[in-house]
């Protein structure tokens, strides 16, 4: 029998069918439920995109108003989850805290009006409450009191307020809205696949999202934009980009923010965030990150033929908005939870246990040696 070839990392393996997200890696296109990401980023809000991912269509004005109000009602962190966050040891990372809080959240849902462990109500609660969970943890570790709720703010404005402690300008809020839209989904990336595998066992929504957060925590999936900012701070000036890149390449070190498993051209999300990095920099009179990134793109493409991915410019946008570096990956989760939950709900609707096979490479005929005769 001819052996089936092993696709390491499941590269190019079609594991399931989905209508949520399509990536055209050759043309550099990203599609949510039939809509190009460029148009959504230009014309929509995050709430509209979340509705689109969950329901498969853009909302009417009334539907959007209803969802927006529902998300506002679900923003508060249950007291039991706050106590759990307060009990975490000093030194707990934001992603560890988020993973723990989401797992605990399932146990602290109020019985009356409980959204349900496998329903869209649970998806809405997760999208609504994650920013407040991150804010609660971050402010406590900095010795600051929790911020008062702001039901008057949109989702993007509320995220910015909770993570920075201030209201942003109109441009700041729009930049956050665009960033949330761009990170909302990306087909079967590692965290989304982890969520779907968990959901395929008919486990609950909170368990699936906890699995996704655990996968996102890994530095090969989340956190690349944080590494980009570390590199930019080390480089400092445009004239140092070339020698620093050459040194890293000579040591065979990876330069974060470049290349992608799927895209063969520039990631369309990077193209959009490049513009926002410049716009926010101009508004704040600080183009140092943008200038460094532009030079970095030039040198890396010339030397390695690599194009930027979404992580290259996102960190500069977040930094200019005043968000601490170690909240970049939790912020990724704040956005991606909309896509995670959409995929989990899709998995529930067409359930089949995800159970791939592995090619065994070990021995098969070893004689059993009694314990007293083993060397």
8 touches 361 (CB < 8 A): no
Outline where 74-204 has alpha helix (H).
79-86, 94-105, 120-141, 155-164, 170-182, 190-200
Is 90 exceeded by the pLDDT of residue 16? no
Which comes out higher in pLDDT, residue 257 or 71?
Answer: 71
> What pLDDT was estimated at residue 88?
94
Is 60 exceeded by the pLDDT of residue 54? yes
Residue ranges of the domains in the chain?
A: 17-219+326-349, 224-320
Whether 138 sits among the annotated catalytic residues: the reply is no
Whether 311 sits among the annotated catalytic residues: the reply is yes
Whether 260 sits among the annotated catalytic residues: the reply is yes
Between 31-45, 52-66, 261-275, 318-332, the lowest mean confidence (pLDDT) is in 261-275
Helices 94-105 and 120-141 sit at what angle, rounded to 10 degrees? 140
- From 185, 260, 267, 343, active-site residue: 260
195 touches 167 (CB < 8 A): no
Residue-wise burial string across 98-116, b where 16 or more C-beta atoms lie within 10 A, e elsewhere: bbbbbbbbbeebeeeeebe
Average pLDDT (232-261) is: 90
> What pLDDT was estimated at residue 1?
47
Tokens 């040891």 sit on residue:
89
**CATH tag, 224-320:** 1.10.230.10
> Which band of pLDDT confidence, cut at 50, 70 and 90, is reported for residue 64?
very high
> What pLDDT was estimated at residue 113?
41
The CATH architecture one would assign to domain 17-219+326-349 is Orthogonal Bundle (1.10)
Neighbours of 34 (CB within 10 A): 11
Is 60 exceeded by the pLDDT of residue 117? no
Is 50 exceeded by the pLDDT of residue 115? no
Share of the chain above pLDDT 70, in %: 96
> What pLDDT was estimated at residue 317?
96
Average pLDDT (133-161) is: 95
Is 80 exceeded by the pLDDT of residue 247? yes
36 touches 364 (CB < 8 A): no
Is 80 exceeded by the pLDDT of residue 118? no
Query: From CA 334, how far away is CA 222, in angstroms rounded?
Result: 12
> What pLDDT was estimated at residue 119?
82
Is 80 exceeded by the pLDDT of residue 11? no
Which comes out higher in pLDDT, residue 14 or 276?
Answer: 276
Q: Please, what's the largest Cα pairwise distance for the chain?
A: 77
- From 24, 96, 204, 221, active-site residue: 221
Average pLDDT (194-213) is: 94
> What pLDDT was estimated at residue 195?
96
Is 80 exceeded by the pLDDT of residue 102? yes
């Amino acid at each position: 029998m001819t052996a089936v070839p092993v696709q390491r990392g499941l590269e190019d393996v079609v594991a399931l069918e989905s209508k949520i997200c399509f990536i055209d890696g050759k043309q550099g296109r990203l599609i949510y439920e039939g809509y190009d990401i460029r148009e959504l980023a230009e014309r929509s809000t995050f709430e509209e995109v979340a509705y689109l991912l969950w329901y498969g269509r853009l909302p009417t004005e009334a539907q959007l108003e209803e969802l927006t109000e529902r998300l506002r009602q679900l923003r508060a962190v249950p007291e039991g989850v706050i106590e759990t966050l307060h009990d975490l040891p000093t030194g707990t990372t934001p992603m560890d805290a988020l993973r723990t809080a989401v797992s605990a959240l399932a146990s602290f849902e109020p019985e009356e009006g409980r959204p349900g462990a496998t329903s869209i109500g649970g998806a809405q609660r997760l999208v609504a409450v994650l920013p407040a969970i991150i804010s609660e943890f971050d402010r406590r570790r900095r010795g600051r009191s929790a911020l008062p709720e702001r039901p008057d703010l949109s989702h993007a404005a509320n995220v910015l307020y909770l993570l920075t402690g201030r209201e942003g300008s109109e441009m700041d809020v729009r930049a956050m809205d665009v960033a949330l839209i761009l990170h909302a989904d990306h087909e079967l990336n590692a965290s989304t696949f982890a969520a779907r595998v968990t959901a395929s066992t008919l486990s609950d929504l909170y368990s699936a999202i906890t699995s996704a957060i655990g996968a996102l925590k890994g530095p090969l999936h989340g956190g690349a934009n944080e590494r980009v900012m570390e590199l930019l701070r080390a480089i400092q000036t445009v004239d140092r980009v070339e020698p620093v890149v050459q040194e890293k390449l000579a040591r065979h070190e990876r330069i974060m923010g470049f290349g992608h498993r799927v895209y063969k051209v520039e990631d369309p999300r990077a193209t959009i965030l490049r513009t926002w990095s410049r716009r926010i920099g101009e508004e704040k009179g600080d183009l140092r990150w943008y200038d460094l990134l532009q030079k970095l793109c030039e040198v890396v493409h010339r030397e390695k033929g690599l194009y930027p991915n979404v992580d290259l410019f996102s960190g500069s946008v977040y930094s200019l908005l005043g968000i601490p570096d170690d909240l970049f990956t939790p912020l990724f989760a704040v956005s991606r939870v909309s896509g995670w939950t959409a995929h989990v709900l899709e998995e529930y609707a067409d359930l089949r246990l995800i159970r791939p096979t592995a090619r065994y490479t070990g021995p098969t005929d070893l004689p059993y040696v009694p314990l007293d005769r083993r060397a």
